[in-house]
Amino acid sequence: MKKIILLILMSIFYVNAQVEDCTILSKYVETYQLNYSSGDYESNEDGEWFDVYLTFRLDYIIVEAADIELKIFWNHLSEFSDENSDCYETEDGDIACFFYDTQELFVYSDYNENVGEYDLLEVYSKTSVVE
């Protein structure tokens, strides 16, 4: 089953493939803050169990959680993508990377120009394809 989901995700996001309409459910979210001294992201808290629906389109993603619905436009970053991952830059300058082997979505946000790094990292995991 894991391989089937991985193949579906790869076919959806592969660099030269057309993005198909698809919705992924993430059931677990962890947040991290950049530690400027070490350069590592450190956990802000324990992860949270809640449903986040991610609906993918070629030019945008729709994120739905609780009473929130966001439509975020993005562009594919082929220079940061390979057969194991695909990365996108959002209209706000955030970076979203899909890692097929772990079936996780990493979202880097709040770019800090002074240090040249993103201050926040959200990791969406425990994913499944919604049919």
Domain count, the chain: 1
Are residues 128 and 24 in contact, defined by beta-carbon separation less than 8 angstroms?
A: yes
User: What is the pLDDT at residue 22?
Assistant: 85
User: What is the pLDDT at residue 21?
Assistant: 77
d(CA 130, CA 25): 6
User: What is the pLDDT at residue 20?
Assistant: 58
**Averaged pLDDT, 57-62:** 90
The range of the structural domain enclosing residue 27 comes to: 2-130
What global pTM score does this model have? Answer: 0.80
